[in-house]
Structure 1
């Protein structure tokens, strides 16, 4: 390799490294199919560029996502609202987004999401609602989302979840409820989540979990419970011991936790 070729190689590597630093986040260097709007945006744009399938709203002062906000952009497959001042979402805000696969609303002061706000978004595969101020989840919120595989609700203030809230999520693989205000867990929450593989409940206010929590979760591979005040009696063919859960991020194989009892 000649000296000139070496110099060209070094310069190209330096350029690539600097480009990677500039594009640390997906929204730093938008692709042709992405539209990114920031703090100067005070209302949801009614019509996006042709070919745009991903919409990002960052640090915007928009307080309310109105009904029909995206109705003229039915081609969208991803919508993300990040670090906005949004305090309310109207029923029907996402109507018409029949191709939507991923929606994220994170780092907002939002305390409540109306039931059926995700109505008719039957192609949704992932919902991320983290680092908001959500306090409760109502039955019906996730109805009709039978393609959903991942639901992230971590980092909110959720203290109550109605039985049946997750009943229609028959293909859910990941449920993230960590860092909330849950003081109790109901087995009924998970009774229809037969395909669930990852359940994260760490850093809540749990002092116990139901003894039959694993009964309807035959495919569970990981459960995170650390950061709570729980005592367990775990019994398998080879283990019979008492644990206080200071840290537990257990990977389960072949339903290895045959039975689990909680010391009260």
Structure 2
């Protein structure tokens, strides 16, 4: 699809897009395939999404790769998901680094095996200075847990006499989150037709626009990405206030 054919190049992209990648298992089930193959195809969709984000000049892309609730899945499936994360880093890290992608990880380190954690730390350190695209990977992440961790950090600062309770502001709370320094998502996309946040970036999406797509994640491509951005651009973002259109 050529941008010049559809006028897409005239649309300013959202600065930060977050994606709940949903539907790998159902994609596989409808094809009579094991869920593991659905997850493998989901990794291919991640690669397409990263390429598309760079081509569309998006600055931040956050993907929900493994939630803190996913540990409840069968051990075999969890092991496969961990293995996919390791292979993604080993296979794609050099290419991502060369392309100027900065990798950030949000979520808890607990329960993650040491080999994978070492790979994650190496990826973050290697790409720290890159500025073409910041790829935020939400891994072993749950928003309620993130909020609890932030509250603990602030409580510890109060207990240590570093700050007064009256100094706990919205800005200080935001800086205590895993996403400190990352702008809130302008657009949140969820695939597979489900319409819920599933404990993902509850604080950060307070004023995000949501676009829910019927396609399963393994089928997500640049055309679907562009369609979601078009829908985002058609929205009137008021952030709790009024705009010229709403007061006319």
Larger Rg: 1
TM above 0.5, yes or no, is no
**Relative contact order higher in (CA < 8 Å, ≥ 6 apart):** 2
Give the TM-score, by structure 1 length: 0.25
Give the TM-score, by structure 2 length: 0.26
Q: Which has the higher helix share?
A: 2
Q: Which has the higher strand share?
A: 1
